[in-house]
Amino acid sequence: MTKPEWRLISIDETANFNILPEDQPFVKEIRGVYCYDATDATYICSAENTRYMHGLRFDVYTHPNTPEDVRERLNERYEIEGPGDDYMAARDVDCRQFVPFGDIDDDDLENDAGASVVREYWQGNHETPY
C-alpha cells in the first residue's frame, strides 16, 4: 500500500456565493480549503483521473480597514459551513500551489481515517494555507 501524501489547497470560490449587497464592498474573496491524498486517483465517468477533495472550511477575506464588527458579521454569514467533499479533475488540482501535511506524526494518516485527522488538525490550529 502506498503511503498517503496529504496536501492542502485553497480555492477562490467567491463566484459560488450570493453575497448580500451590503457585504459586497467589504468581501475581497471567499476561499474553500480542502485536503486530499496526492497518491490517490479515481476515475469517474471519463478517462481523466480525479482527486477526492475533503472540504475543511470557508475563509472570508476582507478589504483593508474593514471594521471588526463587519468582519464578524461576514464570518457568521459565509463561514457557517465548510465546503462539502467533492471530486475535482486531477489536472485542476495538481497545478495549484499546495501545503504538504507533515506537521504531526499520527498512524491514522496512513489509513482511511487520514482525512479526518487532517481536517481536525487544520480546522482548529491553522490559518488558510496558500
Q: What pLDDT is attached to residue 27? A: 96
Contact assessment for residue 11 and residue 31, using Cβ atoms and an 8 Å cutoff: yes
Q: Would you say residue 30 has pLDDT above 50?
A: yes
CB 39 within 8 A of CB 129: no
Percent of the chain with pLDDT over 90: 24
Q: Which residues of 95-116 are buried (b: 16+ CB within 10 A; e: fewer)?
A: eeebbebeeeeeeebeeeebbe
Burial class (CB in 10 A: 0-12, 13-18, 19+), 64: exposed
pLDDT tens digit sequence for 6-16: 888 888 899 99
Query: Phi then psi for 101, rounded to 5 degrees?
Result: -100, 105
Query: How confident is the model over 48-101, as pLDDT tens digits?
Result: 788 888 888 888 999 989 999 999 999 989 886 777 788 888 877 777 766 666
Report d(CA 129, CA 12) in Å as an integer.
12
Check if the beta carbon of residue 67 is closer than 8 Å to that of residue 77. no
Q: Is the pLDDT of residue 130 over 60?
A: no
Residue 108 pLDDT greater than 60, yes or no: no
Q: Longest Cα pair distance anywhere in the chain, in angstroms? A: 52
> Which cell is 114 given?
487520514
Report pLDDT for 48: 77
pLDDT at 104 over 50: no
